[in-house]
Chains A and B, each alone.
Chain A
């Protein structure tokens, strides 16, 4: 086996552990399995080319910036008819997620369904931030990096989004005080 180069080692250390986060973030940006895979591959190639200049601090934030630039570049080239139907793709992803933990999903079912409905009613800009932070687990700064907006904008959209979800729960009359539904 050939000895591992510094570039190879750095790539394995800083980039490979972020593969799942990269894919989920790419999916949030593209709403398409195929487009998300292409975007991750593009990001991986760009990261590999740039890794010798990376200082090793905040690898996820660094990758989010690379992904954002890759996505901007792709958006310029993209043809609209290549996009999947976003709702259909989202349904498929949710259906897959629901096979992961049916017992957990049964608990607090009514509350979760109401949160889900409130989430789906959010304006796209709000839903996008909720998806990046709450579903994908990005930090505020990482979400700001991938969206190319100030971190204050991420906070504002996220907090307002959750308030809207909370308002939706209150509107349907669910008890917010208790631990169960």
Chain B
């Protein structure tokens, strides 16, 4: 494992620890670069990354669009609040 640390900066264990945060864009730039470098050189972690990315994309498809009628009602309400008509 030590040779991986020297060769790739982060071990597989390190990468798997932060992988989901990385996919969510929640790691700092330096960590993100190290994860990306590791993924380019490690088939196992790259497949892990693909799995969680597919799950994330699939879940995202379940996001509900706001019903246009509700959106319109809330816009009208918020505009009235913005004008100070409702307090």
Q: Which residues of A contact B (CB under 8 A)?
A: 5, 7-8, 11-12, 15-16, 19-20, 23-24, 27, 33, 37, 40-41, 44-45, 48-49, 93-94, 96-97, 100-101, 104-105, 108, 111-112, 115-116, 119, 130, 133-137, 139-140, 155, 158-159, 162, 165-166, 169, 176-177, 179
Q: Pick from B56, B63, B64, B82: contact of A8, CB below 8 A.
A: B82
In contact, A115 and B82 (Cβ under 8 angstroms): no
Q: Pick from A20, A48, A116, A140: contact of B81, CB below 8 A.
A: A48
Interchain CA distance A159-B55 in the complex, whole Å: 12
In contact, B74 and A115 (Cβ under 8 angstroms): no
Interface residue tally on B, bucketed by range = 20 to 34
Closest to A104 in B: B61
In contact, B71 and A23 (Cβ under 8 angstroms): yes
In contact, B59 and A19 (Cβ under 8 angstroms): no
In contact, B64 and A97 (Cβ under 8 angstroms): yes
Residue B30 at the chain A interface, CB threshold 8 Å? no
Q: Is the interface of B mostly helix, strand, loop or mixed?
A: helix
Q: Which residues of B contact A (CB under 8 A)?
A: 20-21, 24, 26, 47, 50-52, 54-56, 58-67, 70-71, 73-75, 77-78, 81-84, 86-87
In contact, B74 and A19 (Cβ under 8 angstroms): yes
Interchain CA distance A20-B77 in the complex, whole Å: 13
Interchain CA distance A35-B74 in the complex, whole Å: 13
List chain B residues, Cβ under 8 A from A19. 71, 74-75, 78
In contact, A135 and B65 (Cβ under 8 angstroms): no
Q: Pick from A11, A37, A162: contact of B70, CB below 8 A.
A: A37
List chain B residues, Cβ under 8 A from A134. 56, 59-60, 63
Interchain CA distance A41-B81 in the complex, whole Å: 9
Closest to A95 in B: B64
Q: Pick from B54, B60, B61, B64: contact of A27, CB below 8 A.
A: B64
Interchain CA distance A75-B61 in the complex, whole Å: 30
User: Contacts A112-B61, A115-B58, A166-B51; is A16 near B82 (CB within 8 Å)?
Assistant: yes
